[in-house]
Amino acid sequence: MAVTLTINGQRRDFDASPEMPLLWFLRDVAGLTGTKFGCAAGLCGACSVLMDGVRVFGCQTPVGDAVGKSITTIEGLTQQPLGKALVEAWNEVDVVQCGYCQPGQIVAAASLIATNPKPDDAAIDAGMSGNICRCGTYPRIRAAIHRAAQIHAGEPA
Amino acid sequence: MTGTTRRDVLIGSGLFGAALMVPVAFGSSRSRAAGAPSLAGNTWLGVDAQGRVTLALPKTEMGQGILTTITMIAAEELAVRPVDVVVSIPDGDSVRFAPIDQGTGGSTSVREVWQPLREAGARARIALVNAGARQWGVPAAECDAHDGAVVHRPSGKVLAYAALVAAAAAAPLPTEAPVRPASAYAVIGKSHRRLDGDAKARGVAEYGIDVVVPGMKYAAISVSPIFGGKLAGVDEAAARAVQGVTGVIRGADVVYVVGDNTWAVRQGITAAKAQWTADAASTDTQQAGVIAAVAAALDKPGFVAATSGDLEAARVGAAHRFSATYTQPFLAHATMEPANCVAHVHDGQCEIWTGSQIPGDARKAAAKRLGLPLDKVTLHNRLMGGGFGRRLEADMVERCVDLAKQVPFPVKLIWSREEDMSHDWYRPAYADHIDIAIGADGKIAAWEHKIAGSSIMARLLGPAFKGVDDDAVEGAITPIYPARARKVTFQQQESLVPTSWWRGVGPLRSAFVMESAIDEVAHQVGADPIAFRLAHIEDPRARAVLEQARDKAGWGTAVAPGVGRGVAVIHLWDTYMAAVAEVTVDKDHQIAVKTVTVVVDCGQAVNPSGVAAQIDSGIIFGTAGALYGEVTIANGRVEQSNFHDYRVLRMNEAPVIHTTLIDNHEKPGGMGEPPNAVIFPALANAVFAATGKRLRNLPLQKGLEAG
């Protein structure tokens, strides 16, 4: 059936079941593969997207729940100032290893900084512990979030 | 790169703007497809007609950073910036890369390519320099390569590679082509940002799971959850009733559901309610029995892996005697990207897209499975969302071609996390017994080490296996502690549980046992664990990393109750590493790792930032494994299924890691695995320091809670 969704600022009609999780909708129907499949159980955060600016797990969010909301994926986020600041910080700190979880990490970090522009380590732990990285990039993610907060606030390194 | 990719499907669809749609294999090189090299340094490194250095990556990128590292080495020899090298991830092709093995494991990549890569680069560079000298009519000795051009030093004349490559290629390759001396390094040894980092961060890097080919359908898989089980029944009607499901395909021990998207086939595989049968030998297989059999194998004489001196004679008059048994469990890899593969079988040929650590061997496995000649099978390799040894097996490719040969379209097969976790090839469960005698002179008189467990090498070698698994005993037969007499044995003990490589492999098992045992001996004789080690270690590089770790970690300074520091030192994969872990154990016996101080001497570090990243990686991956990692068997099935019951480390549990890199120009050592191996014993030793409880059976958290 037809559903109308706003993804990365563009309103479009799609043929999809309202029960389909956003994760599979984004990857298989919309062709936005930056959103990753990790567990399909809300345990790893690889499928994180922003819904009205707040991080949700794409694997736990039916398409029907996204109707009337604004969905931002990693592809859209990185066109926005906060997303650009995050990617710049990620590159500066040289965070990425296998990289598979990183779009989800950056989406979670965007949600964190949007509500807490200068998160301390405890706030980073609270905001980021829903995202698993098996490569162990956590120390550099922590550093990159501090740096992204600076960049986004227009502060020097 | 292949011609059929997401680009073909999605470019111009205009859904979200083309800028968001351009798939990038890595970095920005995708948009600058390499031409055929005009000047070939070897079969995978050259310079194209535009003067660009082209590199087909001879090893696979799973997150360890080898794409960047190898590119840096090529850039050094060819005097260009790493970002100027056009890198491609090549198809599986054992012949093209021989004698380099595309298979990527065992921390071998830099060690294997270091010399041939530099020699190939030097040949191409000297060929260009010679061409410039000929053109100018000057001695080649007055010319050098710099920033993608040849320079005549006395006159300052410059010719870009593009202007010289045809002439260079027309002449025979130079036979004398010395590699750059370390004193001249402009790239090697200087931290370089990962070349694939930006594309991965922006979500536009293409992993195997992201591949889309025209006309492709999706598939889900369910393999018998019981080892050795067979498919007994499927509710095919229920599966087909799911909207978007187009087919149900049965195999002996497997069922596939095929359809229009992943969601449809995931629902379909659940609706199929596959039924399984298995004989009692399978369904009666229990964790306790499997582990007991491994431990019991220690009572057999075993096959001798190394022996020197007379063990019994050396034990006579010993001042101290220590013996203990250690056990380590089955472990899953739990890569973030679950197993997956795309395949298209048609007209007597097969095309495969996947992320594999063994692209050449996986291609051969597919050809064998399909009964096709190798030249009819193509495997396009992709970036991997983690490897850790999981993708050193080809089962995801074999299962996918089994399906693809039965359907007339390309098909993308994705394992659910639960299927991935319960059908892994697990790190073997091991039991080790160690017996150490300290002589009256305080030296190690006798060291006996018995190892038992599944043998991965026996499976791979078949009849050529002679009883000693050379991987399993690695590290155990080359200890950093001299002894007057030594004996190391291996005894194979299999179960129904399939086993394979897991980051750290045999040396990780050895390191946990040996560095736990030496710590126990130190405490038994009343010595400081670091001082005791230093009293025995003779290798100056091993001593140096240990001494620096001691000093940087504040070893010996007071700690609060419930806090403990543990140390370990290794010389494995040609790398020296020492770690001091500081842990806290609370009143509920919960272990938290606060800081880890690591000192590494891996010889010439090509990319120091990459070395430090691998240390973060191995320490955190290994901490998860040491504290929590355990796969258990009940009624012939794996009990773990997802991240709720196979615990891994999260951000709030990650230690602060202090890394010191000893700067030198020794031959490069491996870096993918040493930190993962050093942290297991360091943590066990730290928990002992914090609690007084010696945990000889992993995982540590379970052991501590068991009291």
Structure-block tokens of residue B691:
């609690």
Closest approach of chain A CAs to the CA of B264, in angstroms? 8
> Which of the listed residues B169, B201, B233 is the one where a domain comes to its end?
B201
Cα distances (angstroms) measured from residue B18 to each of B2, B7, B247, B672, B691:
20, 10, 34, 37, 59
Residues B412-470 pLDDT 10s:
999 999 999 999 999 999 999 999 999 999 999 999 999 999 999 999 999 999 999 99
Note whether residue B283 is domain-resident: no
Q: What is the pLDDT of residue A156?
A: 82
Task: Cite the DSSP H helix spans in B89-204.
Answer: 94-97, 109-136, 161-170, 197-201
Task: Spell out the residues 6+ positions from residue B344 whose beta carbon is closer than 8 angstroms to its own.
Answer: B213, B216, B350, B351, B352, B404, B409, B410, B411
Judged against a pLDDT cut of 80, whether residue B697 lies above it is answered with yes
Residues B188-243 pLDDT 10s:
999 999 999 999 999 999 999 999 999 999 999 999 999 999 999 999 999 999 99
Query: What would the mean pLDDT of B525-531 be, rounded to a whole number?
Result: 98
The edge-to-edge listing of strands for the beta sheet with A10-15 is A10-15, A2-7, A70-72, A48-51, A54-57
Strands B485-492 and B444-453: parallel
Query: What would the mean pLDDT of B2-7 be, rounded to a whole number?
Result: 34
Q: What percent of chain B has pLDDT over 70?
A: 95
Helices H / strands E in chain B, number of each = 22, 27
Task: Spell out the residues 6+ positions from residue A74 whose beta carbon is closer than 8 angstroms to its own.
Answer: A34, A35, A49, A83, A103, A104, A106, A107, B202, B203
User: Measured between alpha carbons, how far is B681 from B161 in angstroms, rounded to an integer?
Assistant: 52
Judged against a pLDDT cut of 60, whether residue B68 lies above it is answered with yes
Residues B131 and B231 in one domain: no
Q: What is the pLDDT of residue B35?
A: 58
- Which among B249, A13, B251 has a CA at the least distance from the CA of B259? B249
Note whether residue B186 is domain-resident: yes
Residue A72, strand partner residues? A50
A124 and B CB contact within 8 Å: yes
Q: Are residues A135 and B617, on separate chains, in Cβ contact within 8 Å? A: yes
Q: Which chain B residue has its CA at the smallest distance from A45's CA? A: B336
* Residues of chain A contacting residue B196, judged by C-beta atoms under 8 Å apart: 96, 99
> Which of the listed residues B393, B414, B435 is the one where a domain comes to its end?
B414
Residue B642: which of A12, A41, A94 has the nearest Cβ? A41
Using the Cα atoms of residue B94, residue B97, residue B98 and residue B102 in order, give the sign of their dihedral: negative
| Cβ atoms of residues B368 and B386 within 8 Å | no
Domain ranges of chain A: 2-73, 81-152
Q: What is the pLDDT of residue B36?
A: 64
Residues within 8 A of A (CB atoms), B 289-318 only: none
Q: Are residues A91 and B201, on separate chains, in Cβ contact within 8 Å? A: yes
Residues B637-649 pLDDT 10s:
999 999 999 999 9
Residues B479 and B564 in one domain: yes
A123 and B CB contact within 8 Å: no
Note whether residue B420 is domain-resident: no
Residues within 8 A of A (CB atoms), B 419-448 only: none
Residues B334-381 pLDDT 10s:
999 999 999 999 999 999 999 999 999 999 999 999 999 999 999 999
Q: How many CB pairs under 8 A join A and B?
A: 212
Residues B319 and B343 in one domain: no
Among left, alpha and beta (phi > 0; psi -120 to 50; other), residue B526 is left
**CATH classification of the domain holding B226:** 3.30.365.10
pLDDT category at A1 given cuts 50, 70, 90 is confident
Q: What percent of chain B has pLDDT over 90?
A: 94
Residues B122 and B232 in one domain: no
Note whether residue B421 is domain-resident: no
Note whether residue B422 is domain-resident: no
Q: What is the pLDDT of residue B20?
A: 31
Residues B263 and B304 in one domain: no
Judged against a pLDDT cut of 90, whether residue B31 lies above it is answered with no
User: CA-based angle B10:B23:B68, to the nearest 5?
Assistant: 170
Residues B503-516 pLDDT 10s:
999 999 999 999 99
Which residue has 């990128």 as its token pair?
B61
**DSSP type of residue A26:** I
Q: What is the pLDDT of residue A2?
A: 85
Q: Are residues A94 and B263, on separate chains, in Cβ contact within 8 Å? A: no
How many residues comprise chain A? 157
Topology classification of domain A81-152: DNA polymerase; domain 1 (1.10.150)
Backbone angles phi, psi at B446, to 5 degrees: -140, 140
| Cβ atoms of residues B469 and B361 within 8 Å | no
Residues spanned by the domain of B372: 208-278+339-414
> Which of the listed residues B201, B235, B250 is the one where a domain comes to its end?
B201
ipTM: 0.98
Note whether residue B620 is domain-resident: yes
A102 and B CB contact within 8 Å: yes
* Residues of chain B contacting residue A17, judged by C-beta atoms under 8 Å apart: 243-244, 263
Full-model pTM: 0.95
* Residues of chain A contacting residue B654, judged by C-beta atoms under 8 Å apart: 136, 138-139, 142
Closest approach of chain B CAs to the CA of A152, in angstroms? 17
User: Measured between alpha carbons, how far is B225 from B271 in angstroms, rounded to an integer?
Assistant: 16
Question: Which helix (H) or strand (E) covers residue B676, if one does?
Answer: helix B674-691
| Cβ atoms of residues A107 and A55 within 8 Å | yes
Residues A75-131 pLDDT 10s:
999 999 999 999 999 999 999 999 999 999 999 999 999 999 999 999 999 999 999
Question: Which helix (H) or strand (E) covers residue B40, if one does?
Answer: strand B37-40
Q: Mutate which of A35, A47, A87, A94 to disrupt the B interface (most B C-beta within 10 Å)?
A: A94
Q: What is the pLDDT of residue A8?
A: 98
Using the Cα atoms of residue B147, residue B148, residue B149 and residue B151 in order, give the sign of their dihedral: positive
Q: What does the DSSP assignment read for B328-374?
A: E-BB----SS--EEEEEEETTEEEEEE--S-HHHHHHHHHHHHT--G
Q: What is the CA radius of gyration of chain A?
A: 15
B651 and A CB contact within 8 Å: yes
Residues within 8 A of B (CB atoms), A 16-35 only: 17, 20-21, 24-25, 27-35
Q: What is the pLDDT of residue B3?
A: 35
Q: What is the pLDDT of residue B34?
A: 53
What spatial distance separates the first Cα and last Cα of chain B, rounded to whole Å? Answer: 56
Topology classification of domain A2-73: Ubiquitin-like (UB roll) (3.10.20)
Among left, alpha and beta (phi > 0; psi -120 to 50; other), residue B106 is left
Residues within 8 A of A (CB atoms), B 371-390 only: 383-388
Residues B578 and B432 in one domain: yes
Residue A138: which of B243, B417, B620 has the nearest Cβ? B620
Using the Cα atoms of residue A88, residue A89, residue A91 and residue A96 in order, give the sign of their dihedral: negative
How many domains would you assign to chain B?
A: 3
* Residues of chain A contacting residue B417, judged by C-beta atoms under 8 Å apart: 38-41
| Cβ atoms of residues A148 and A88 within 8 Å | yes
Closest approach of chain A CAs to the CA of B590, in angstroms? 18
Residues B97 and B189 in one domain: yes
Residues B116 and B146 in one domain: yes
User: CA-based angle B376:B382:B384, to the nearest 5?
Assistant: 135
Residues B44 and B69 in one domain: yes
Residues B607-618 pLDDT 10s:
999 999 999 999
Query: What would the mean pLDDT of B479-493 be, rounded to a whole number?
Result: 98
How many residues comprise chain B? 707
Residues within 8 A of A (CB atoms), B 317-336 only: 334-336
Note whether residue B472 is domain-resident: yes
Query: What would the mean pLDDT of B132-147 be, rounded to a whole number?
Result: 98
Residues B274 and B307 in one domain: no
Q: Which chain B residue has its CA at the smallest distance from A9's CA? A: B16
pLDDT category at A157 given cuts 50, 70, 90 is confident
A106 and B CB contact within 8 Å: yes
Residues B683 and B582 in one domain: yes
User: Measured between alpha carbons, how far is B276 from B348 in angstroms, rounded to an integer?
Assistant: 33
* Residues of chain B contacting residue A99, judged by C-beta atoms under 8 Å apart: 63, 196-197, 200-201, 205, 383, 385
Cα distances (angstroms) measured from residue A147 to each of A83, B384, B615, B616, B628:
13, 27, 22, 19, 32
Closest approach of chain B CAs to the CA of A142, in angstroms? 8
* Residues of chain B contacting residue A100, judged by C-beta atoms under 8 Å apart: 63, 200, 207, 335-337, 385-386
Note whether residue B267 is domain-resident: yes
| Cβ atoms of residues B51 and B125 within 8 Å | no
Query: What would the mean pLDDT of B387-398 be, rounded to a whole number?
Result: 98
Provide the b/e sequence for B574-607 (b: ≥16 CB within 10 Å): bbbbbbbbbbbbeeeeebebeebbbbbbbbbbbb
Residues B243-286 pLDDT 10s:
999 999 999 999 999 999 999 999 999 999 999 999 999 999 99
Residues A12-35 pLDDT 10s:
898 889 999 999 999 999 999 999
Q: Are residues B212 and A31, on separate chains, in Cβ contact within 8 Å? A: yes
Q: What does the DSSP assignment read for B453-513?
A: E--HHHHHHGGG--S--TTTTTTTTS-SS--SEEEEEEEE---SS-B---TTHHHHHHHHH
Residues B523 and B635 in one domain: yes
Closest approach of chain B CAs to the CA of A62, in angstroms? 11
Residues A44-80 pLDDT 10s:
999 999 999 999 999 999 999 999 999 999 999 999 9
* Residues of chain B contacting residue A98, judged by C-beta atoms under 8 Å apart: 62-63, 200, 335-337, 383-387
